[in-house]
Amino acid sequence: QVQLVESGGGLVQAGGSLRLSCAASGSIGSINGMGWYRQAPGKQREWVASITQAGSENYADSVKGRFTVSRDNAKKMVYLQMNSLKPEDTAVYYCYAEIQKVFGIQYQRYWGQGTQVTVSS
């Protein structure tokens, strides 16, 4: 019954910005880490950014300084602000959330459906 729904993808010119959103809903006891992966055509899925429940951020070197991950615990949402976009950022972006459906039960990683980000040169 847990669901992650993403929004905000689209087409943008190089140097532009996009803000992705991901909302978790359903039967959720608590959420630990949240973050983002991306997958370009024909390539392996790549970790992009993560954020702890307390707000500590980590980034892949390829996006460091350009992307910002944030979260709203009350809304059970995670965001990815993408600035200075490059054509190599083109990919399907997937959010994830580590969710404990019932307190005391192990966390399980859930994934969004993915949203396309295309950066034109």
pLDDT value of position 85: 98
Amino acid letter at 3?
Q
Residue 30 predicted with pLDDT over 90 = yes
The per-residue pLDDT for 16 is 98
C-alpha torsion sign, points 103, 107, 111, 117: positive
Note the pLDDT of residue 42. Answer: 93
Q: Sheet with 77-82: list strands edge to edge.
A: 3-7, 18-25, 77-82, 67-72
Residue 102: pLDDT above 90?
A: no
pLDDT at res. 51: 98
Q: Is the pLDDT of residue 1 over 90?
A: no
Mean pLDDT, rounded, for 32-43: 96
In this predicted structure, what is the pLDDT of residue 18? Answer: 98
Contact 66, 77 (CB under 8 A): no
Please give the pLDDT value at position 89.
Answer: 98
* Residue 104 predicted with pLDDT over 90: no
β-bridge partners, 20:
80
Cα distances (angstroms) measured from residue 85 to each of 2, 76, 88, 121: 31, 26, 8, 10
Residue 40: pLDDT band with limits 50, 70, 90: very high
Distances (CA, A) of 99 to 8, 24, 55, 79, 106: 23, 9, 16, 17, 8
The tokens for 61 are 């070197």
pLDDT at 43: 96
Report the pLDDT averaged over residues 62-89: 98
